[in-house]
Amino acid sequence: MEDNEIRHTIAALVDEEHRLRSGSPSDEEHARLREIEENLDQCWDLLRQRDALREAHLNPGEGKARPVGEVEGYLQ
């Protein structure tokens, strides 16, 4: 996946997140919001990986989406 595709995915997820948060989310929508948050974390992590690979003069295409459990466990 290329950077522009990842950014497009992020934008679509953020739009959906804003739409769901604009009202009173149902239990099903709360579950979807959690899924969106996890997907966003994975996308941002992948972009950071690709940037780091590029800065190291390596192939950014070698970056891979990490499992949610790994990405969600990062300390800020």
Mean pLDDT of 49-73: 93
Question: Hey, where are the domains in the chain?
Answer: 3-72
Predicted TM-score (pTM) above 0.75 = yes
Rounded Cα gap, residues 30 and 36, in angstroms:
10
- Residue 50, classified by CB atoms within 10 Å of its CB into exposed (0-12), middle (13-18) or buried (19+), is buried
What pLDDT digit, counting tens, does each position of 3-12 carry? 999 999 999 9
Contact 41/17 with Cβ under 8 angstroms?
A: no
